[in-house]
Each structure stands twice: as structure tokens, then as C-alpha cells.
Structure 1
Amino acid sequence: MTATALIRLAGPLQSWGASAHFDRRDTTSRPTKSGVIGLIAAALGHDRTEPLGPLAELRYGVRADRPGTRIRDYHIVGAGPYPLRPRDLITDPKRAEAAQLAMEHETSPAFGYLTASSVPAWYGAPKEVAPDPHTGALISGNPTGRNGMITTRWYIADAAFVAAVQHKDSGLIDRITHALDHPKRLLWLGRKSCPPTGTIAAGTHAGTIEDTLTAAALLPNHTDPRPWAWIETPPHTPGGHKTNDQPITYHPQRRTHAPRWETRTRITPTARIEWDLIP
């Protein structure tokens, strides 16, 4: 029996990038299918290297009850010291030993510093950041320079969306709903700096995405009584358009997406499905 799971996506910040690079991370105006399927996979406890299996077959739709405001974050990386990462302790035995000694001698004036270096033992360098060869200070990119790297990061502020995933196997939809209520991994709204707030899962409902998004009541503080919705459709549907956010794999070394089709339409909710929101 065809069933649909409703998912509330709300928080101070969201970022749903269709493409991203180290120095520029954009966001679309609404949650992407790839981002929401990734959130579901995390809730189920899947590893990024696992095949998507039936999750790749989910049909997707999203309703923008409160579209939010697009904002830009002025972000600098590479200037100054950085907290030591756990993997630094695992991959660098000398640094791990120095950090351990520093912790054991916390009252010493030299606490936290490596021998013959001004860099604290508990500090490390993130990707693309290297120690200055003359002073030991951590600098970005070019090892002869000292300036931080300015990056551009876009977010959607104060937004609330209702996403929906549909499948002919109602058992799969039930498992998704349960996992969103009891996630096995941390969940975020596109990026790790964007945690969700309040209730996420809104139950399993018989019927299609169109039926369910129409039945679901508007979220609090909605901006339009007839919000826009983007609903997945078969290829070349009249009035539809192509978007490139169908996930193929989330494997870190070969993350891949494919095109899919969707239509944009206005929805007038009937409020047959009420929200049981936990702030």
C-alpha cells in the first residue's frame, strides 16, 4: 500500500547545497532530495559507504510554509591555532604523546606546548592549513603566507518546510518515521552547523505526497495560506523541470547525483493532519 512520511524541517539556519566547494558553499531555496534522503539515512544509522537500496526509490516532495531569508556568512579559516582533532591523536603518535604529557603537567608554565615550538600540543591544523616554517604559527594555504582564507557560506534563516517521502512499501515508510523519532546518528538541516529544532517526524499516512501535503496543517508562523510545493514527477511531465539532486551514493570518494523531474504548484492545506509539535 502506498504510504507517505511527513517530515518537519525547521531551525534557525538551514543550508541545502546543490554544489559545494571548500571556499564557496551555496544553498538552494528549499531542502533538496539528496539532503533529505541523507538525513533519513543518518536516522536509520547507515554509513556513507553503504548502498542506498530502497531509499533511492523514494518519491520526494517539499512544501515551503515559511521560506525564510537567504543570508551570507562571512567566514575565515586558516588564521591562528585550532583545537586538536581526535583523528590527530590517532594518526600522529608523537602529537598524542605530547598532548598526554601536557595534560599531566597542567600546572607547568610549558603546559600544552610541544618541545621547541610555540604551537600548543592540543592544537592542530585543519585541511589546507600548515605551520609557518619560521614561527610555527598555523597559516592557510601558501606556507610562506600568514593570511586566513575567506570563504563564502550561504544559509536560509528562520525557515520551516514540510518534506514528504512516498513509497509503495508502507513498512519502509513506518521504519523511516520511527527512525526520525529515534535517530541512530545526529541529524542536521543540510550541514552540520544547522541542527533541527522541535519535532521532525509527523507520522506515516496512507496515500500520495499530493494527498498528504494537502492534508497537513500549515506550520506555525507560516507566511502564505497557499504555500508553494515542489513535487517529484515522471521525466518530461508537462510543466515540470529537471533538477540534479537524485542521490546515487554518498560515498566520500565518489559522491554522485543524477537528474530527476519535479513540478512547482501551490497547495491549499485542509488541516486534516494536525501537528503535535514539541518545541
Structure 2
Amino acid sequence: MKTATIRLTAPLQSYGNQASFNQRTSDKYPSKSAVIGIIAAALGYRRDDARILQLNNLLFAVRIEQSGNMMTEFQTVEYQKSSTKTARKLTYREFIQDAVFMVAIGSDNDHEIEKIVSALKHPKFQLYLGRRSNPPAGPLMIETYDEENPLQVLEKLSWQAESWYQKRLRAPKFLTRIIADAELNPENNITMIKDKVGSFNQKNRYYQYRPVIIKKKIELDNLEYKSSTDLKTDLDYWSFV
């Protein structure tokens, strides 16, 4: 098993859980389908490339490092109501501001992971985090690990939030959660979510359900914490969960 971690951060990210013309909301963490889209773009696959479906076989997990804030943007859209009249309407788009996520992908095929890592470092197409308006904040930070699956890697990985965020918490520990493919830990309670890629083709885009597990109360050390006995805002933990 070879695993690669990818640190995803940008001023804005968006991972749609609903799609309509008037309103598009975002999940609080990257979906597997969104990460597959990033990988497919890096590899140079076009939307109707059959090889995209093979990327569903990658093992996947994501850990929330810095939850960020949800922002709703509204846009005024003008459209043709009839042959002689136009109309305007408001549409709404959700974004996550200043968030950091650690994504881990794994495979028993070491060559496949190495190929993906190389592509992410030298992408064929522009990469973006959920929407075209959301490019990553610089080159992606990627590390590889041998003999451990994505869930095991994220359970051991040190906290990857920004330094200013860790200092602001004023707590020695941070509690977060990991969302992972169910097969990585089938003993946990399984939840079905709809983010397995069926097709990225714009004329027939659709997604299928896949089983996941959610591991809560993942405890991470805050290396930026400095104890202060007279600081009343100190807490034992600060939790995203």
C-alpha cells in the first residue's frame, strides 16, 4: 500500500452537495469526487475520459485541519425570458473561507500513486478546489508514505493548520474528525454519501452513493500552545467536532 497526502488550502473552496441554478451549497470538507476531479485535471483527462471512473478505486480519507468560515455570495443573473423580454434573478453560491484540509489517497499499485503525485506537481490543466474561481494557494504540498493506508496516515499525522490558527486557539489539543472510505475501517458505523463519480460530462453529470465512516474525536497536539495559568480563556481542548 502506498499513500499520498495532499494539503488543500485556498482563500476560497467549495464542495457542492446540492446543485441547482438558484442555489449551490457546499459541504464542510472536500468530497472524493472533487479530489478525483483535481487528479483528473492534473493527469490531463477530459470530462468524458473513461479513465476517470478508474480513479474511484483509489482509497480516500480527509481530515479537517482548519474548518474556516462559510460565506454565501449572491450574483445577479440576466436571462432571456422570451423572444422579446429579459429577466433578472438572484443566485446564491456557498464558499468555505480560509480552510485547510488534509486529503489522503492510497492504492496497492505504487506506480499509480507515483503517477498521480507527479501529475499534481506538474498538472496538465489548471487545478481548482471545487470551482474554477478557487485555485489552490500555491503549489500543492504532497507527501508519500509506504505500508500504511490513508486512514492510518491521517490518524498519525501532526496538525497541519496554519500557525496563526493554532496560536489563536489557546488550547493544548485540537479535536477533529476524519471521513474515510468504509473499507478502511468496516467496524465503524457506515454512512452513505453521494460523491462517487458517475460522469463529469456536462451534458450528463451524475454521482452515485458510496459507503464512508466518520471517525470523530481525533486528538491532535497544538505545538503552538503556550500555557498561561492566569489566562481565563485557556481550554483543555478546542474542537471542530
TM-score, with structure 2 as normaliser: 0.80
The 1:152/1:268 distance shift into structure 2, 3 A limit, reads: same
Q: 2:109 aligns with which of 169, 172, 188?
A: 169
Structure 1 position 268, deviation (Å): 3.4
1:1-279 equivalence runs, <5 A: 2-51=1-50, 52-78=52-78, 129=79, 140-206=80-146, 207-219=148-160, 220=162, 221-222=165-166, 225-234=174-183, 238-265=188-215, 266-269=217-220
8 Å contact kept, 1:218–1:269 = yes
1:23-52 per-residue CA deviation (whole Å, 9 max, x = no partner) reads 211111111111110111001110101012
Structure 1 position 214, deviation (Å): 2.5
Q: Which has the larger radius of gyration?
A: 1
Q: Distance in 2 between matches of 1:214 and 1:199?
A: 24
SS at structure 2 position matched to 1:21: coil
SS at structure 2 position matched to 1:194: coil
User: Can you give the 5+ residue segments of structure 2 that lack an aligned partner in the other structure?
Assistant: 223-241
SS at structure 1 position matched to 2:39: helix
Task: In structure 2, give the amino acid aligned to 1:5.
Answer: A
Q: Relative CO higher for 1 or 2, CA cutoff 8 Å, sep ≥ 6?
A: 1
1:184-243 per-residue CA deviation (whole Å, 9 max, x = no partner) reads 100111001111103424122111012211333222235662321111113975412110
Structure 1 position 142, deviation (Å): 4.1
Q: Which residue is equivalent to 2:239? A: none
The total of aligned residue pairs comes to: 210
SS at structure 2 position matched to 1:227: strand
Q: Distance in 2 between matches of 1:15 and 1:157?
A: 9
8 Å contact kept, 1:56–1:248 = no
1:48-100 per-residue CA deviation (whole Å, 9 max, x = no partner) reads 0101253120111111000111111021122xxxxxxxxxxxxxxxxxxxxxx
Task: In structure 1, give the amino acid aligned to 2:54.
Answer: P
Task: In structure 1, give the amino acid aligned to 2:38.
Answer: L
8 Å contact kept, 1:27–1:154 = yes
SS at structure 2 position matched to 1:268: strand
Structure 1 position 21, deviation (Å): 1.6
When the two chains are superposed, the root-mean-square deviation of aligned CA atoms in Å is 2.2
Q: Which residue is equivalent to 1:114? A: none
SS at structure 1 position matched to 2:127: coil
SS at structure 1 position matched to 2:75: strand
Task: In structure 2, give the amino acid aligned to 1:258.
Answer: Q
Structure 1 position 144, deviation (Å): 4.4
Task: Decide which moves more: 45-54 or 58-67.
Answer: 45-54
Task: In structure 2, give the amino acid aligned to 1:267.
Answer: I
SS at structure 2 position matched to 1:29: coil
1:93-126 per-residue CA deviation (whole Å, 9 max, x = no partner) reads xxxxxxxxxxxxxxxxxxxxxxxxxxxxxxxxxx
TM-score, with structure 1 as normaliser: 0.69
Q: Distance in 1 between matches of 2:38 and 2:98?
A: 19
Q: Distance in 2 between matches of 1:227 and 1:209?
A: 16
Q: Distance in 2 between matches of 1:74 and 1:262?
A: 32
